[in-house]
Amino acid sequence: MNKDYENGIDILKQMTDVNGEQNIKSLGKIFPDFEEKMIAFGFGQIYSRPNLDLKTREVVTITSLITQGAFEQLDFHIKAALKAGLKSEEILEIILQCAAYIGFPKACSALAIAGEIFQ
């Protein structure tokens, strides 16, 4: 597990900046085991896997967040997507395609969040 956690921290550093890393780690102040599992499993065991590059993984994550209406996590992952090499036009395009698959309301909420980041 320790290795998964270290692995997860490495991936996290690739995905985000110091602020993003601190945000994730701050969950550990509330519940250390939660932060540990999230980093070891989510980042260490899943994001690190082959067959999908980080860029495509962020396509999956952004789409899933918008579809489930988990907008609080969207800022982190839109920034991570840009860092992984997705262009802002591609992220906007994901949001537009989501409109056809989950309807315009959630797509509008996502677009507003993207708009604040892209400014």
Residues that bind a second copy (CB under 8 A): 1, 4, 27, 29-31, 33-34, 37-38, 41-42, 45-47, 49, 51-52, 56-57, 59-61, 63-70, 72-73, 87, 89-90, 92-109, 111-112, 114-115, 118
| C-alpha–C-alpha distance, residues 33 and 35, integer Å | 6
Nearest distance in Å: CB 110, a second copy: 10
- The minimum distance between CB 63 and a second copy, in angstroms, equals 4
| CB-based contact 83:15 (threshold 8 Å) | yes
What is the CA 32 to chain-centroid distance, rounded? 20
